[in-house]
Amino acid sequence: MKTLIMCITLMFTLNLQASECGDDCDNCLNKEPFIEQVEKVSLPAEVTIYTDFGCHYCKTGAEVVADLKKKYGESLKVKVLAFPLNKGGSSELAAKYYESMRLIQPQKALDFYHKIYKEGLKTEESLTKGAVELGVSFDEIQVAFNSVRVEHMLEETRNNAARLSIKAAPTFVINDRHYITGARPMSYFEDIFESAN
């Protein structure tokens, strides 16, 4: 009975969030209700996040990820994949800059992910400045941004998302097995990790 109530609550929440979503993230959440079942996961673990830099729910997800990393440190590996749901605009621009950073300095990609959301980086000028502040040269970021490799990285993410039936952002994939769609509070993830340990 408790599981049924949780599933109904989750379906209502997702539909409510989807209807409140703004123009920039029209497709942030699956609009069809679904039942999500996530087993408890022992640490160490890896979380892969499909994020759309134009989505305010993804920004909330980024804040939770920062708190999770503070709490669990090296026992929680985080990989972020840029997943712009709409072609063009500031979301795709930020995705290309993020993937450029991931290409040339992967160890700083997570910092850049947080910087994009925290500082609201949306223009070429602000994204370039943000990358330079993290120690990447102007020339490096521009060469990577204009490279075919970055386009291939974005295409690979879209193909993986399609293969895994991921249609919304944010989507969290834990250990390549457990899928969580939509922003969730810190306590939701703590329950998944701590109940298994």
Identify the pLDDT of residue 132: 96
Write the pLDDT tens digit of every residue in 90-141.
999 999 999 999 999 999 999 999 999 999 999 999 999 999 999 999 999 9
**Using CA atoms, how far apart are residues 44 and 42, in angstroms rounded to an integer?**
6
For 61, other C-beta atoms within 10 Å of its C-beta total: 24
Phi, psi at residue 88, to the nearest 5°? 80, 175
**Using CA atoms, how far apart are residues 132 and 159, in angstroms rounded to an integer?**
30
CATH topology of domain 2-194: Glutaredoxin (3.40.30)
What does the domain layout of the chain look like in residue ranges?
2-194
Identify the pLDDT of residue 161: 95
- Peptide bond preceding 33 in cis form (omega within 30 of 0): no
pLDDT in tens, the chain (197 residues): 333 333 333 343 444 344 334 444 444 444 433 335 567 788 899 999 999 999 999 999 999 999 999 999 999 999 999 999 988 889 999 999 999 999 999 999 999 999 999 999 999 999 999 999 999 999 999 999 999 999 999 999 999 999 999 999 999 999 988 899 999 999 999 998 876 55
40 token code pair = 């408890």
91 token code pair = 């979301």
Q: CA 99, 100, 105, 108 torsion: positive or negative? A: negative
